[in-house]
Each structure stands twice: as C-alpha cells, then as structure tokens.
Structure 1
C-alpha cells in the first residue's frame, strides 16, 4: 500500500496542525510499516477524536466507552478534572479498548506528530498485543465487549428505576469492594460468552432459582443431623474451596434476589475482562513503545515526516521512557515503558548482534536474525512474570544496575544478597520476575466452608505468604460488605502452615435481599 500524501506536499504533514485527511494519511503510512515491515496482526481500528473533558470522562469509567452509573466514577472525574485544570496532572494522549474493531480514542488537542505517535503506539502496538497474547485470547471476548457494556449499562439503569438508586449503589459498593476477589485465575474456568449474556439473563435466573432452592431446602434442620452433613459432602455441594468470592455469592448467597445476582455477575465479568491487563502491563506497554519506536524513525527515514517532527517525537518518547533513579523524588518504581522497551531492544540485539554471553544464556535465539519473529512469539506467549524470567539478560541487568536487597522486618537490617555479576544475575532476574507475579501481589483468600445447619457462618481462609498479613482495618471494611452480601456472619482466618494467626469477623448490618 502506498501512503496517501496530498499532491504538492513532500511530507505527510508540516507543523502542529492537522485535519482528518492528514490523520488518514498518517494512519495509512503507519499501517504499511506496521503490517509489512514489522509483521503485526491487528484488529481493524476505529479511531475517535475526543476532547479533554471526554478523556477525563473515560478516565473516570476505567477507560471504557460505556459504563453503568456509580458515584465513584463521578468522584474520580472531579478529582482528575481539578488536577488537570490546575496544571498538576496531564492527560493520556490516547486510550485504547481491547475490542474488535479496536477502539482508539485520541485527544483533539494533540499535535500532528503526537497523533502519529499514539496511532503507532495504540492502534498498532497495543492492538497487536490484544489480538495475539494468549491471556487475552483465553479470557476476553473482544467481539462482544462493547455490546456487553451496553447491556450492563441498561440493566443497572433498569434496576435503579425498579428498586431505587440507593439500593443499587449500595450493592455496587459491596461488589466493588470485592472486585479483586471476583476473578477466575485458571483455565478450567472458561470465559463468558458475552454475546449471549443478555439473551441468557432470564434463563440464568430461572436455573439459579431452581438449584438454589434445592440446595437450601435439603439442608438438615435438626441439630442432631449435623453429623450426617459431613464437611467433605458440604464442601462438594457448594464447590469449595472457591477463590472467586463474587462467583460464589452470585450462585449461593441465601438472600440475594435475581437482579442482585446479575449485578454481581456484571461486576465480576468486567473484573475478569481487565485481569489479563494486570498481568501484562510491562509487556503491553513495552510492545506498544517498541512499535512506535520503530515506526516513527522509519517514517523519517522514508522522508515522510520533517526533521522538526522527528525532534518532537524524540522529545515525547524520551519523556515516556525516562527512568528516575531510586533517590529521585519522582521515583515510584520501575517505569514499565522504560523496562519494557529496554527488554524488547535487548532481544533485538541478541537476535542480530549477540555476544558470547548471550549465546550461552539464550542459545535458541542468539544470532537467529529474526528479531521481529522472536518478539512476536514473546508477545503472544508470555506474561510479565514469565517474560522477565525468560528474557532479562545479564547485560541488561548490568546496564540497569539492578541488584537484590533482602531484609528482616524484625531486625530492620537490609542485606544486598545478589548483584549484577555472573553468580547473581539469575537470582536478581528471579526476584524481579516475582514482583510482576499477580498471584504474589493479591492475598490468597478462599471460601473454605459454610455452616449450613447452624448460624450459616461463611468461613474464609487467608494463607499468609512471606509473613505479610492483611491490614486489619481494610479487612474489617471488606468483610462488612461480604457479610451484607452473604446475609449471615462471616469469619476470616489468617493461617500459616495450618496454624491460625489471626481471626477477623463481621456480622451483617444491612443484609441484601428482596428490597
């Protein structure tokens, strides 16, 4: 495909101004490089130009084009708007939605060069990653997410009309408090078919009502019957242990009525949609940054953008990949753009100009000559943790001056346990990979039992890892929401090697039910 350039103009654009014809020409030029030279496979793109206020609105609703109403979204909007108007916070230059077609929002305030950057970054970099990475293919349904968002928005609005805004918002408050515990993490739990959600909503309600009634009608009523209701049988009946708390409540909470169960399902379905993004933040941004870092210089080499545009690109790109030092006031950890791009460029170097050390550590790819092929395979088959564990090279560890520090909270001393040398790089790489393991960031909390014949107390267990216990205040507030959703007492035990370290309890104060 030959990029469309206006007659009589040697460049795709000149200066900062742009119109929609200019944007179309920029898009076509980028598309040629992305598909032909980089070999990217993307969904079709739908580009929408929005204002700063619309970008703030998208921020508030977790970046989605459609979202049900909730007070927290308005709070986020007001906060971000205030910071933006006072000049204390900038806005993203784009937002990209994992959908088919891929929906890309670009700011109308962007210069022509910035539009070129964000189109390369989002419309082709993020787009390729969404389409090809195994986590997104396994857990998300890009062809139906926009229709499902429309269904969710309409359903919540209908519930507000029928049951009152206060009742719906209180339910959403409780569900949002448990969002991080509304995730299926293993392949055995298949992704929802979002295209059938609206049609099957009534069928789902009827089925749940029948199963739910059978479950609780057969619960032994007399105290002496407890022995016959063995723990193993009870756990099998309820599908315990269960780590997806919202899923369990949706299917087994005694007092919830059908519309409340459906709203829990909406919240957890959207939480599941975002789960792959949490596991691939480094790779996703690294992929998109690498793509724009290869496309914009290529446009300059082909004489399609001016030297001034290229300098503007370099300035914006450098700001995005800046990595402050640990003692810099701006330091908040490793910049995913910086580390992601550094790893992508290092893989490219290993494939094309390997050193002896690279041949020893990466014998399968060192000197293969197909850097883009190796990168496309990595983008498709890894997540952040495994990507770092597989591809972080000793040379890059030395270049970034990474080292491992361990400490004992009781002693208060810090010890440098590994540095960027031949003996320590494996340990440094393993330690860094673990920091990107979502399973290590989220507490391991599971529902393990229910007292079916007594006070119907729900028992949860948190397996303490590395001595990190739950914050008592936060645990108490979340358990209060859980108790109201369950309708009966809840108890959370923090354990280590089957020894109970701490117990948290909550009673329902305003249980949900037929309101």
Structure 2
C-alpha cells in the first residue's frame, strides 16, 4: 500500500462501523483482506471463493480478464464481496485511501443486502458458504485423482452441467421428499417438484454413475447459491452505492479526500453508452424512493422483499424513466431502431421490456416434460423470443450427455412448432413438430 497504512484503514473502518450502528443497517460480521491485482484476477475468475474446484472455464476467464486488463481494455473491480457469514471482502492494494474508504462502505451495503433480502435468506446458508465450496472442491479433486475416473471424465460431466446450470429452479430450493414419495412417482413422468428443474431432473433420473450424479448436484447447488445475486444485481449494487454515498457524506472526510470521493462516486454511478449500468439505475431508484414520505424505512422494506424484476415493475415510474433517459429498441438487419421512448405513451412498455430482460430473464426456460420410449422430451417455454438455433443444438447434446439417451426439444420458430431432435450418436435434426 502506498501513502497510507493498515492502521489508517482500521481507523476509517471503525468510523464506518459506528455509522452503520446508527443507520439501521443490519450486517454480518465483516472481514476485509488486502490483495494484489493478480490476486483479484484470480478471485474474479473463481467467483471470489477462497476455495473452488478446478475447471478449464475458470482458467479461461482468468486469462481473458488478465489480457484485457494488461491492454487497458477493462479495469478491475475496486472490491469483491462474498455472501458468507462472516462476510468476506477483498480490497485492491493499489487503491487510494479514499477509494478504500468508499469500497469499505460499499461492502457494508452489500453485506446488509445479503443478510436481509428474502432471496438470500431463503435460498442460501451464509454461515456454510465457505465450507460448502471447500467441500465441493475437495470432492471433485478426489474424483480427478481417482485412477478409475480421472480428469477427462470429470471434465466431460462438468462441461455438460455448466452448460445447463441455469436450467434449474429459479424460485428457490425444493422441499425434501421421502423415499416412499419417490417410489410412488412414475418413471416416465416428471414429478411436480422437478417440473422447473431440468438439471435436478437429470441428476436424479439420468443414466449416471454416483460420482457423476454428485458432480451434477455440486454444480446445481452452487448455481442455486449464485441465483439470488443474478436476480438482484441492480438492487444489490444500487443499495451498496446508495449507502456508500450516505455514509461517506457523514464521515467528515478531509477536503482532498472528499473531492476524490465525489469523483469516484460519479464514475461508479454514471450512465454507460449503449448498455445499462446497474449501479446507476439502482442508485437513482433508491435515492428517489428515499425522498418519498417514510422513505428511509420504506427502502429497507423494499431491499428485503424485492428482486430486480419486481423492483423495476413496481417502482420504476414515468418520472424516473424520463430522468434516466430509458428507451427500448430492436435490431433490423444492420440498423438499430428505437421502438419506444419513456414518454407518457411509451414509458410502461419501456419499463416492462427492461424488467423482463434483467436477472435470468434473458436465459430461455427449458423444462422436462416426459419420457417417451426412453427419449427425454423437453419443452422451451416460448414467450415470443425464439431460441438461438446453434446454441439450442449444442444444448441438447449436453442434455444427452447427462440423460444417456435420445433427447427431443419442442420449441417455436417463425411462428411454427418445431422439434430439435438429438439422437444417441449426437446427430441433431430440426423437424416439424
């Protein structure tokens, strides 16, 4: 660290914690770790976990991010924070003192969000997070080093599970069921508990060895841990940005630090050209809502109850749409055409299209329907958006790897019912349904 010491960080962290106690935020115990930019690249590739299982995709992410960073094509995050109890966060060693103070305050906003938002409270066990990822890493390394299994077989199953990881329950963990209930389920039907959980269905019913089943369940369990973060990106970053702004304005920073704080804050919450900045949208919405009657208590209720889709649908009004200069568009050939602007006529359409695209909204929903003569029948839940055909064909091949037999996927293309059929030798055909 240059220009300040660890005692400086401890001093300002203590000041922030004093403000946390009077602000009404409710946080886990917070731990910070200082890391180099190389460490941050590694943590970013491995989703911030101190321990994670090996897979080539993580190495690819590391090399890609490292190359982009070295050529100044991207920057690194100022911090990385983990939904765990105690909450773990990494700070870049090269950050200025002001930036460290800002990011520590930002982390406490995330910490409060993790502890209190219903998706995290319902679907994750923060006190078991680090142990869960370490146990998964240990088990997978055992399979890799097992002379009867080895890395190639492990990689084949992990590749398929990674490709299908978001085809799992988007509404939280299912209740446990008994062996007696399992025995009553018909083998060629999809039980209600797995109707929206293709990955769970494949883990349970696919032609897999026990170690393969374990691999799929590991990927599924870790995906369920990350889904709340995906579903609350705008809210989570907006909440953290709102609170770092409030807290630093109460810290009585020296003038030179306060000026740098304002510059840094504006860089974080500025609008991006051509794409959405979740920090900008979330910060502006919470700032607006906090100014309404009973706003300070109301925003805490909102951060506890909503996810991005419901947050936008309920609280992104015409005034905010106009202030944020939102619009919807579509691509026609080589042209981008504006469909609606956020005026009195079009703002609701803009809001609804925006809300439908956040979180997992852009990932198609594929459900298991039934088993017909050994073939697994899947259905794409068509909402007006068609599957990208090349991706769909590769997806059914990965399903076949876990199912162990023929796979048929029903979908709609150009207004007509179609069947993407994958035979056991991985020949994929597009047929009329």
Separation in structure 1 between the aligned mates of residue 393 and residue 280 of structure 2, nearest angstrom: 38
**Residue matched to 2:295:** 371
| Contact 1:43–1:128 (CA under 8 A) maintained in structure 2 | yes
- Give runs of aligned pairs for residues 99-498 of structure 1, distance below 5 A: 99-122=84-107, 124-162=108-146, 163-181=149-167, 183-186=168-171, 189-190=174-175, 235-236=188-189, 242-254=195-207, 256-300=208-252, 305-324=253-272, 331-349=273-291, 351=292, 368=293, 370-404=294-328, 416-417=339-340, 419-421=342-344, 423-436=345-358, 438=360, 440-451=361-372, 454=373, 456-466=374-384, 468-495=385-412
How far apart are 1:374 and its partner, in Å? 1.2
Q: CA deviation at 1:429?
A: 3.1
Judge which range, 281-290 or 79-88, deviates more. Answer: 79-88
CA distance in 2, matches of 1:140, 1:33: 28
C-alpha root-mean-square deviation of aligned residues, in Å? 2.8
Q: Could you tell me whether the CA contact under 8 Å between 1:388 and 1:433 is conserved in 2?
A: yes
Q: Which has the larger radius of gyration?
A: 1
Aligned CA distance change for structure 1 residues 107 and 405 (closer, same or farther; 3 Å): closer
Alignment partner, residue 90 of structure 1: 75
User: Tell me, what secondary structure is at the counterpart of 2:42?
Assistant: helix
Structure 1 partner of 2:431: none
Q: 1: CA distance between counterparts of 2:226 and 2:115?
A: 14
Q: What is the alpha-carbon distance in structure 1 between the residues aligned to residue 228 and residue 365 of structure 2?
A: 18
Secondary structure of the residue that 1:450 maps to in structure 2? strand
1:425 positional shift: 3.8
Q: 1:402 to 1:237 in 2, by over 3 A?
A: closer
| Per-residue deviation, 1:235 | 4.9
* Structure 1 unaligned residues grouped into runs of 5+: 1-14, 193-203, 216-231, 325-330, 352-367, 511-515
**TM-score, normalised on structure 1?**
0.76
Counterpart contact for 2:233–2:359, Cα < 8 Å: no
Number of residues of Structure 1 aligned to a counterpart in Structure 2: 423
Give me the whole-angstrom Cα distance separating, in 1, the residues matched to 2:13 and 2:84: 19
Alpha-carbon deviation of 1:373? Answer: 1.0
Q: 1:272 to 1:310 in 2, by over 3 A?
A: same
Secondary structure at the counterpart of residue 418 of structure 2:
strand
In 2: Cα distance, 1:478 partner to 1:431 partner: 26
Q: C-alpha offsets along residues 182-216 of structure 1, whole Å, 9 cap, x if unaligned?
A: x21235714x9xxxxxxxxxxx9xx99x999x79x
Contact (CA 8 Å) 2:313, 2:351: kept in 1 or not?
yes
Q: CA deviation at 1:508?
A: 3.6
Residue of structure 2 equivalent to 1:28: 14
For normalisation by structure 2, the TM-score amounts to: 0.90
Gap change, CA 1:119 and 1:437, over 3 Å in 2: closer
Residue 298 of structure 1, CA deviation = 1.2
Shift of 1:233: 5.0
Which consecutive unaligned segments of at least 5 residues does structure 2 have?
427-433
Following superposition, the deviation at residue 376 of structure 1 comes to 0.8
